[in-house]
Amino acid sequence: MASGGALIALSDWNATHTAVATLSIPINVSHPHVSLSNLVGNSFWTVRGSSEGFSTWDSGHWEFVRDVDSKIYGSILIPNNITTLPNVAVSMILAVNSATTLPSNSVMSVATAVISAAGSITPAFTAETSQMISFTSARYRYNATFPSTGNLAKPVSANDLLLVEISHTGTSTSDNADSNTIMYSSYLRCDVNT
């Protein structure tokens, strides 16, 4: 009931009171960059087990080779119930396998491109600001979100195919990681109407 005892139709309530939820949706990271010969082999999917320091589980993950540049690619379909102000960002869970030098810094970045329905399959990528991820312990989880605040520089709409390029700039003088950087997962954070 509204104030004064008047009834409100459910359709009227829904029209003015939509609930919003923030989701974290996995990005399908499918392959490393292979078209530039200087990047081939610099990132790869692997599984490490107990013989390599993972005593309680077999750890499937992407690795970015230290001291070289590398890129991997993924994609995700934007939900059809995304809000008009979607709070969209790309997040990832990172670690370093071992580190003699702590803190161990890894320079990471993300770029995105959008393919709309019936759109070009060769869109231009828009880069987010690179971040130096500082690992203070080996084999511990660290989160990185691009951009660190706000929305992706590339606007998205419902049912767009978002292409995601995740880069490690191992040749940067700020990148001093003495082991490979590990990425366990990446996901899209966005607000949707419920």
Digit-coded pLDDT (tens) for 16-58: 557 889 999 999 999 999 888 889 999 999 988 766 666 677 7
Could you tell me the residue range of the domain that residue 131 belongs to? 18-193
The pLDDT assigned to 3 comes to 45
pTM of the model: 0.86
The pLDDT assigned to 99 comes to 66
HEC string of 72-134 equals: EEEEEECCCCECCCCCCEEEEEEEECCCCCCCEEEEEEEEEEEECCCCCCCCCCEECCCEEEE
The pLDDT assigned to 133 comes to 95
Does residue 2 fall inside a structural domain?
Answer: no
Does residue 141 fall inside a structural domain?
Answer: yes
Does residue 5 fall inside a structural domain?
Answer: no
Mean pLDDT of the chain: 88
- Report d(CA 186, CA 91) in Å as an integer: 6
The secondary structure element, H or E, covering residue 164 is: strand 161-169
Does residue 1 fall inside a structural domain?
Answer: no
Does residue 7 fall inside a structural domain?
Answer: no
pLDDT at 145 over 50: yes
Does residue 13 fall inside a structural domain?
Answer: no
Cis before residue 147, ω within 30 degrees of 0?
Answer: yes
Mean pLDDT, residues 76-88 taken together: 92
Instruction: Give the count of beta carbons closer than 10 Å to the beta carbon of residue 29.
Output: 20
Q: Which two tokens stand for residue 126?
A: 């828009």
User: Which residue is it, tokens 């070009």?
Assistant: 120
Residue 13, helix vs strand vs coil: helix
* pLDDT tens string 83-128: 888 899 999 999 987 767 788 899 999 999 999 999 999 999 999 9
Question: Domain of 69: which CATH number?
Answer: 2.60.120
Does residue 64 fall inside a structural domain?
Answer: yes
Q: What share of the chain in percent tops pLDDT 90?
A: 65
Q: Which two tokens stand for residue 170?
A: 């191992």
The CA-based angle 124-30-186, given to 5 degrees, is: 85
Overall number of domains in the chain = 1
